[in-house]
Structure 1
Amino acid sequence: MASAPQQSLPLFYNQLEPLSSQTHADFRIRVRDKAPFLAKQHAVPVTVEEFPLVQRFLPIVFSVGDDPVPLALMGLNEGVNTFFDDEGTLLEPNFYVPAYIRRYPYLLARLRTDADELSLCFDPSSDTIGAFEDGDKLFENGEPTETTKNILQFNEQFEQAGARTAMFMKDLKELNILIDGEVTIQQEGNEQPFIYRGFMMIDENKLNELRGDQLRKIVQNGMLPLIYAHLFSLALMRDIFGRQVRLGKMPQPQLVNPA
């Protein structure tokens, strides 16, 4: 049986297997109200299309390194998620779940490094897909069901959003307005503040100093609203901190990295 490349699997994925009408003819999918893989996950990638919705609930920051990506923070400390409990149950009825989470356990992947075509794959370690007696069928008479077609369409849309996000990040780097982020939060009763680093953010001062041609470009290509969605969302860092306090998930005051 052919298998997708196993190296450098994305976040959450343990294995990848191409979905096949022959091998998986009797497979079904089940809807679960828990996502155990999220229990200890404090940050997830987001696409630029999601910024307007994400910024209402979660801080948006950028990962460090040569190829930064946008991340939504569900906790400020490694291993802390303030929106899902230890079993992966969503704690908030009013919450936007990022597409990266909703995509799992499916993924479009190249089965060969020399091929351009992407194939729909899944993580066989997930308990939401398998040869179950209940659930929605993935194939009927050797053909993809409407359920499978919808999964494929969602993954195709996610790939397209990912490409647009990569272009946004490329333009952002060229503008040279990303800086190392730092947030200091002083908790009442503690002498030492909590200092959060290990992420990148947009420097508002550098943004205001952009040349006219640069500013026109980011207005015309739609980057400016996305930049401000990120900047506005940073105010939620203190809200996430407060959620950690209420949930009793606070470390000792020290230097900590949210991303």
Structure 2
Amino acid sequence: MKQVLVYERPVPIHRSRHRNLRVRPSVGEFSFARQINSVPLVGSEFAAAARDFPIVFAGASTASMMPAALLGLTQDENLFVEADGRWADEVYVPAFLRRYPFVVAEHATGEDLTVCVDEAAIDDADDALPLFQADGSESPMLRHAIEFLGEYQKDVQRTRAFMEQFAHHKLLVEKVIRLERPGNEPATLSGFSILDETRLNALGAKSLQTLAKSGALGLAYVHLMSLTNVQRLSARMDRKHKGTGGLH
């Protein structure tokens, strides 16, 4: 399995091979996410995430785009991981990060899922938690992780459904964040899209009704409102680096 963002060496969990394996969950410690400037989101997170982050859309093509929370305005910097590895106080932690060190690998059919663990989280310390109990059954930690991953994947499928609607109506447009900081060369952050509000408002009544019935319309407006958080990210970066930024 290839590396996926914060996951360095994800491998499928094997009941016999990993019988005595212990891992250290990311409870309150997010150093592993220090160098990512965005993280995937699912639709059920929009309301909570929109309070703190700009919600954008990222992917190799319009057809494959998914929502993401923008965590920083420059490459390889997460503005919400503090120096000691803690997540910033009173800021929402996306589910993608809360599930670490566990993740699922989707098979080509899209039906079967394999639970994986990041080998980088393996820890032999006595206070690390086992994956399996003495009788070979899943430990409470692993059972909780499997349940969490199952619900998360259901949300992923629901999110893909409303993204298909956005793509069908050609609502996604590329956007660039331009950063202008005193004493530094201007920089840009690209590779993501947002919804075109003008195109959204120009849709016919039938299309809007379909979007509303599926819940996609409400999520669209939450996304658009979240974009004002670019200024908050800029101010956060300014406090850290004494610079400024904006969306152009």
TM-score by length of 1: 0.83
What is the match of residue 154 of structure 1?
148
Structure 2, unaligned runs of 5 or more: none
Count how many residue pairs are aligned between Structure 1 and Structure 2.
244
Cα distance in 2, alignment partners of residues 53 and 231 from structure 1 = 14
Whole-angstrom distance in 1 between the partners of 2:228 and 2:104: 34
- Hey, what's the Cα distance between the residues in 2 that align with 1:55 and 1:212? 27
Q: How does 1:7-86 map to 2 (within 5 A)?
A: 7=2, 9-32=3-26, 33-63=28-58, 65-66=60-61, 67-86=64-83
Separation in structure 2 between the aligned mates of residue 94 and residue 152 of structure 1, nearest angstrom: 27
How far apart are the structure 2 equivalents of 1:65 and 1:11? 15
C-alpha contact 1:82 1:243 (8 A) present in aligned 2: yes
Instruction: Give unpaired runs (5+ residues) of structure 1.
Output: 1-5
* Deviation of the 1:238 alpha carbon: 0.7
Give the fraction of aligned pairs with identical amino acids, expressed as a percent.
27
Deviation at 1:144, TM superposition (A): 1.0
Cα separation, 1, equivalents of 2:59 and 2:140: 40
Q: 2: distance between equivalents of 1:139 and 1:191?
A: 52
AA in 1 matched with 2:92: Y
Matched, 1:94 2:90: yes
Partners in 2 of 1:44 and 1:23 — Cα distance?
A: 31
Query: How far did residue 87 of structure 1 move?
Result: 5.1
Is residue 203 from structure 1 mapped to residue 196 from structure 2 by the alignment?
Answer: yes
Q: 1:64, 1:25 → 2: CA distance?
A: 37
Q: Distance in 2 between matches of 1:191 and 1:37?
A: 28
SS of structure 2 residue aligned to 1:231: helix
Q: CA offset at residue 145 of structure 1? A: 2.1
Which SS does the other structure have where 1:125 is aligned? helix
Whether 1:230 aligns to 2:227 is no
The residue aligned with 2:206 is 213
| Inter-CA distance 106–213: structure 2 relative to 1 (3 Å threshold) | same
1:94 partner amino acid: E
Matched, 1:179 2:173: yes
> CA separation in 2, counterparts of 1:115 and 1:61?
25
* Matches of 2:85 and 2:70, distance apart in 1: 16
Deviation (angstroms), 1:11? 1.4
